[in-house]
Amino acid sequence: MSDNKTDILIIGGGIAGCIAAISLVDTHHVTLVDKLSQPKERIGESLAPAANRILDELGLLKEIENHSPPIFKQNLGMQSYWGSDQLQIVDHMRNPDGFVKSLDRKAFEVYLRKVVEDRGVNCFWGSALYASSYEDSCWEIKLRSVVDESTDQQISAEFVIDASGRQSHFARSIGVKRQVEDKLLACWITLPNVQENTMSTISSSSNGWWYSSVVPNGKRVMAFHTDSDLIEKSALKTAQSFIDLAKENEQMKMLLNEAKSAMEFHGTTAANSTKLEQVAGKQWVAIGDAAVSFDPLSSQGMFNAMASAMQLQRLINEFGFADEVSKHYTNQVEQIWAHYLKHRSLFYGAERRWKSEFWERRL
């Protein structure tokens, strides 16, 4: 099959796209496209223990566990200041799938891209979706190089997987809109870690909630989550303004006081709960954040990216590219979304100390 024809075109080379490509390449000609030439730094490092099953099924788990330099640190549990001033410990000691993995997210995505290439997926890095149309039972996709905008590539695909994250570039290109549940954003920094304790910390405050976790290579992530319209933009514009805000929280203040060297400010990123109004259609499906994006409080974003890719792989192996794939996949996503909204409501409802707009919205 020539480079301009493929069985499956995946738009988005993050975790969802790479897992989908790895799972499908043994049975189909797969092409993977991403507008980034290299993965970038991203917040979101907690990989749920159940992901170990997927990594093992794809032959990746042992490689990741033995990778040098390390891609992850074992996370023994969570120190929680939620609903009470008293510390509560939630550990993973009895989880049959093991511990949470606190990932170096960029290193993990670099690793997955290498596996994709090694296993024979046709890759176009640094190429963005430019146009799409459905003709003669195939999707005709135009790509444009982000380096040289005069360079176009056209690919004919029997099936398209939108794995382009919250932007859902393919679904948007065919007119599908997103349902937005809230305005949550995350502002984050990385700083040196000086603690031997590898547990994460979560702590609520009057206008949002804080999170911190140890990641590989002597670093720690610290993030604040609030609604975009409830905080002065200047408060999240610089490292110093972030630090000033963090010092208002006792747990974050303690971590900042222990760090003696440079911190890296990464700015803000969307963290709200959203869902495509249509997650699948004629010979196309959206997976991961492109289909549904979760509040980071759930710690399920990366696992959902991987699990939705595997759900789709099984459906394609059973039904090919027939309409049954879209029907079954849509039903599965609707069930997951309903379950997620219920549990999000229960978890936020457990915090009753703060009488503010942020918490009132979630009650």
* Complete DSSP assignment for 23-88: HHTTTS-EEEEES-SS----S--EE-TTHHHHHHHTT-HHHHHT-SS-SEEEE-EEEEESSSSS-E
Is the confidence at residue 1, as pLDDT, over 50?
no
pLDDT tens digits for 87-128? 999 876 677 888 899 999 999 999 999 999 999 999 999 999
Query: Using 50, 70 and 90 to split pLDDT, how confident is the model at 3?
Result: low
Please give the span between the terminal C-alpha atoms of the chain, in angstroms, as a whole number: 54
Tokens of 362: 């979630």
Residue 221 belongs to what H/E stretch? strand 219-227
Residue 2 burial class via C-beta count within 10 angstroms: exposed 0-12, middle 13-18, buried 19 and up:
exposed
Tokens of 220: 């720690």
User: Quick check: helix, strand or coil at residue 344?
Assistant: helix
Average pLDDT, the chain: 93
Query: Using 50, 70 and 90 to split pLDDT, how confident is the model at 351?
Result: very high
pTM over 0.75: yes
Rounded average pLDDT over 6-34: 98
